Amino acid sequence: MQVMTDTPKPTVSGTAPPGIACDIFCAVIDNFGDIGVCWRLARQLAHEHGWQVRLFVDDLHAFTKLCPSLDATHVKQSVEGIVVEHWHEPAHAGETLEIADVVIEAFACELPPVYVTGMAQRAQRPVWLNLEYLSAEDWVADFHLRPSPHPRYPLVKRFFFPGLVPRTGGVVKERDLDAQRAAFEQSPQAHAAWWQRATGGPPPAPGATVISLFAYENPALDSLLAQWRDNASPVVLLVPQGRVSGAVARFFGLPAFEAGAHATRGNLHVHGLAFTEQRGYDPLLWASDLNFVRGEDSFVRAQWAARPFVWHIYPQADDAHLPKLDAALAHYARPLSAQARAALERFWHAWNGNGTPDWADFARHLPEFKARAASWATELAQAGDLAGNLAVFAKTQLK
């Protein structure tokens, strides 16, 4: 190895440590989705596959929201057996230039030029993967693992596409996730303890509809809050601290709606929850009857929760996100009755800016949505999990 100087000359040490070494580069573009997926993937590769993982992240402060044990003031540290390095700038490649067996550039970030040079000089070329954003569109299966030769070096980068169907990369899922969910669902004590920790009180009475709300700012929220207020039966809304907290506060005429806040109007009862570290998010989904989720990471976790959900997809210019929304709906809603499928499509589109959400129209189909959520989780598993699929492919390339 060689310590980097102003003009580093990449070298590779002679003897590789046991196990597969993997470097993941992550630029936090917006919110927590990028680092959320990368942190889950890093943990799974390390803990379930025995890889030696190093994670480069350019925004440690955002990372600490998901991993409170991380110290944002440290340039390099070990967290849960994973080396985390602060990625200072695009040209930075760590305090010591080390080239891994498997190199993952996440979500179109670019590797440091000195690192790419080091990859080309390595005796055994690394497996170089560009981890793409999740999409349910049909073309994903055709482009998954396609090669892209480097224009100057004898290196080949492959595009690794997460997806919802076989022949794609699948999505992140830990081996024990289903067992954890089953244990929570089968334990009234665990359920009650979660409600006490999260809200300071017991679970709601039978007959209430429990909804978690994790979303981007959304002009449709005011109408939906009013509909829940006027609903015939109680609606209990759980709002993690975040980008919609201000809208909830305005609806109730409050200056803010922080963690620990409570408010009631009509049949709507709202609890403000603290922003949870990553592992704490799943029990929120399991405790709810319906989950509003956003972006990629929470979208995936909602599917594994086997509960009905509403997806607020990350908005893009010229409505480029809407075909991705429709592609996910096409897979998810396929076996629903015509009436339920139409209600789901109308509600998802309204929540994503096209119309006003009609809660009564949506809620009457909740039993069918619940059954579909359970069958979909089983169907989704047929694509395999992202870390497992990635590990299998990498090993075939390293032989």
Which residues have a catalytic role annotated? 34, 296
Length of the chain in residues, anyone? 399
**DSSP annotation string for 329-370:** HHHHSTTS-HHHHHHHHHHHHHHTTSS---HHHHHTTHHHHH
Q: Which two tokens stand for residue 40?
A: 């889950």
Measured CA to CA, the distance from residue 233 to residue 46 in angstroms comes to 46
Query: Contact at 8 Å (CB) between 88 and 56?
Result: no
Element (H, E) at 394: helix 386-398
Q: DSSP label at 297?
A: H
Q: Which two tokens stand for residue 274?
A: 């603290």
- Which residues are registered as beta bridge partners of 208? none
Query: Contact at 8 Å (CB) between 382 and 389?
Result: no
Element (H, E) at 131: strand 127-131
- Which residues are registered as beta bridge partners of 21? 52
**DSSP annotation string for 24-57:** EEE---STTHHHHHHHHHHHHHHHHH--EEEEEE
Side chain identity, residue 354: N
